[in-house]
Amino acid sequence: MSYNYRSNVVNSEQMRRIEGAIFASGMPVAALMEKAALLTAQQLKKSYSLANFPKIGVIVGPGHNGGDALVIARELHLAGYQVSLFCPIAKLKDLTAQQANYVKHLGLIFQKTLESLEDCQLIIDGLFGFGLERTLSADIAELVDKINSWQKPVISIDIASGIHTDTGEVLGTAIKATHTFCLGLWKRAFFQDLALPYLGKVELIDIGISPLDLETILQDSPPILRVNPDLIRPYLPLPRPLLTHKYQQGHLLIICGSRRYAGGAILAGLGARGSGVGMLSIAVPAALKSLLISHLPEALIIDCPETATGAIAELPLELNNYHVLACGPGLTTENPAIIEQVLDSDKPIILDADALNILAQLGIEKLSSRQNKTILTPHWGEFKRLFPNLSGSQDRINITQEASQQSGAIVLLKGARTIIASPGGKMYLIPESSSALARGGSGDVLTGLIGGFLTQMPDNAPEATALAAYLHAQAGILAAKERTELGVDGVTLANYLFAALKDSIPPAPLDKGGADRRGDQN
């Protein structure tokens, strides 16, 4: 396990212990405060120039978050900004009180009312940092609501005040930051959908936590990892060996589609195409065969007997002839026997859409006898049907982990921040996405993409799932930038998968002598 500040995500207790280890090894508390605040001030000055934001208001809390804010205020003052301070809580921690005394010595003034800061162009929120668990008091809540009503840019230090560090819950009310500088390590709230409207643009400030200190605290806990290109690059099935052929690059079967939902089959196939899978077979109702061939000429289209309403009636093929099975897009819930047949196979499977709805009817206990990997890809509505005992919690990270433990499956919970949990405890969090993906068909593309990557990297199922989810999100972001969010339909999204891959992962190196790695074409 590699401990890297850009990847590891911690809860508030882990962050306390990591800071404790740093202090125990000799780093003075004041020195760490100075370091974190100075680095934040540097980034703040780059993003918010003196010319555009000459007057800055700083809200100072009683703890070390307030101390950080005071160091930042000092540095901005020395850089020429006109800084006004307001501290709504009289009793300060010792170190914060020392910082307050020093800024007073420099001539900064603590204003008596919050309204004195209303003419500032920018507000810095230094009320509360990580670890807040209680609902804000009435007077602080009123202050927060007033700041939000100003509709000015607000910078939060570490996390927006009023947000629970782990669950992302709003503790009564919370600062609606436009920019949050997270100090040291990513906190769980940054990947909870509840918190996202309050965090704005997020940026991590590297304060130089050593891998040794991280390992000391995190070694006994399954890792929670924020996916980034450096993390996924080692798992990508590239470069391919020179001597290879299509079946060595995996054979995926997608079972999907119906007369009513033909598009789901096409989009799942396009998603699989975007993975570069060696061989793709798609089982659909017979009436859809010519349609699928016209969109996916490279795929082997298997026509299945149909029900009277145009759903798959039975699968006239041997499932164990394929490396991976993906099932669900456009399937309908008409024939549960199809899903039972898939569950009985000894191959890795991905279940999505109507396959999940049928599984919810059958019960997740049906997964207990499976000997190979199962990947479930629910959105929130499907998740609630699969795991009704977990749907009362708003902590998406925790309930995804619990769902994986209960089902023995890898669970990918879709959302603004997609979460992937494996039965072994390892978790992957997708750091960004686009509302362009909130459109019918996006999930079908993801199903095919996961299936294609899993087929090529069967020994790394959690990583294949995370890789697919990351590139799916990046394709949505890239397509939205070039087309606007309204212009990203499922086909467009699939067409941007290769561009997202190219942007995230450098091209494979050339062999000596200039030969490329395309391999045998048989």
28-37, 258-267, 315-324, 497-506, range with the lowest pLDDT = 497-506
Say if residue 281 is in the same domain as residue 330. yes
> Is the same domain home to 200 and 283?
no
175 and 76 in a common domain: yes
pLDDT-derived band at 516 (thresholds 50, 70, 90) equals: very low
Confidence of residue 3 (pLDDT cuts 50, 70, 90): low
Backbone angles phi, psi at 184, to 5 degrees: 85, -65
Tell whether residue 459 is among the known ligand binding residues: no
**96: annotated binding-site residue?**
no
Report whether 129 belongs to an annotated binding site. Answer: yes
What is the per-residue pLDDT for 168? 97
Task: For residue 208, give the 3-state DSSP assignment.
Answer: coil
Residue with the larger pLDDT of the pair 466 and 213:
466
Residue 75 resides in a domain: yes
Comparing 517 with 420, which gets the higher pLDDT?
Answer: 420
Residue 63 among known ligand-binding residues: no
Could you tell me if residue 516 is inside a domain?
no
Any binding-site annotation on 440? Answer: no
**pLDDT for res 520:** 35
H or E element in which residue 412 lies: strand 410-413
User: How many degrees, rounded to 5, is the angle at CA 311 between CA 308 and CA 315?
Assistant: 110
130 is in an annotated binding site: yes
**Count of domains for the chain:** 2
pLDDT of residue 522: 34
* SS3 assignment, position 120: coil
Report whether 396 belongs to an annotated binding site. no
Q: Is 416 annotated as a binding residue?
A: yes
Binding site annotation covers 67? yes
* pLDDT at residue 5, as a whole number: 66
* 472 appears as a binding residue in the annotation: no
**Does residue 46 sit within a domain?**
yes
Q: Are residues 141 and 264 in the same domain?
A: no
Read off the CATH number of the domain in which 206 is found: 3.40.50.10260
Tell whether residue 269 is among the known ligand binding residues: no
If asked whether residues 251 and 191 sit together in one domain, one would say no
Per the annotation, does 354 bind a ligand? no
Q: Is 379 annotated as a binding residue?
A: yes
What pTM, to 2 d.p., does this model score? 0.93
Is the pLDDT assigned to residue 9 strictly greater than 90? yes
Q: Is residue 282 part of a domain?
A: yes
418 and 466 share one domain: yes
- Domain region containing 256: 230-235+245-504
The beta strand positions in 286-343, using DSSP E, are 300-304, 324-327
Tens of pLDDT, residue by residue over 61-92, are 999 999 999 999 999 999 999 999 999 999 99
Task: Kindly state whether residue 391 falls inside one of the protein's structural domains.
Answer: yes
Q: Is 444 annotated as a binding residue?
A: yes
Q: Is the confidence at residue 181, as pLDDT, over 50?
A: yes
- How deeply is 521 buried, as exposed, middle or buried, from its count of CB atoms within 10 A (0-12, 13-18, 19+)? exposed
Q: Do residues 144 and 10 share a domain?
A: yes
C-alpha span between 446 and 342 (Å, rounded): 19
Hey, what's the torsion of the CAs at 429, 375, 197, 488, to 10 degrees?
Answer: 110
* Annotated binding residue 415: yes
Q: What is the CATH number of the domain that holds 475?
A: 3.40.1190.20
Cα–Cα distances in Å, from 426 out to 8, 215, 266, 410, 449? 11, 15, 32, 10, 21
Q: Is 65 annotated as a binding residue?
A: yes
Do 202 and 265 fall within a single domain? no
According to the annotation, is 131 in a ligand binding site?
yes
Annotated binding residue 245: no
Instruction: Specify the pLDDT at position 233.
Output: 84
- Both 253 and 212 in one domain: the answer is no
User: What average pLDDT does the structure give for the chain?
Assistant: 93
Is residue 381 located within the same domain as residue 270? yes
Hunting for tokens 């643009």 — which residue is that? 201
Residue 408 in marked binding region: no
Rounded mean pLDDT, 14-34? 95
Residues 137 and 33 reside in one and the same domain: yes
Query: How crowded is residue 398: how many other Cβ atoms within 10 Å of its Cβ?
Result: 18
Determine, yes or no, domain membership for 518: no
Residues 259 and 405 in one domain: yes
Q: Is residue 519 part of a domain?
A: no
250 has binding-site annotation = no
Question: Is 102 among the domain residues?
Answer: yes
Is the pLDDT score of 247 beyond 90?
Answer: no
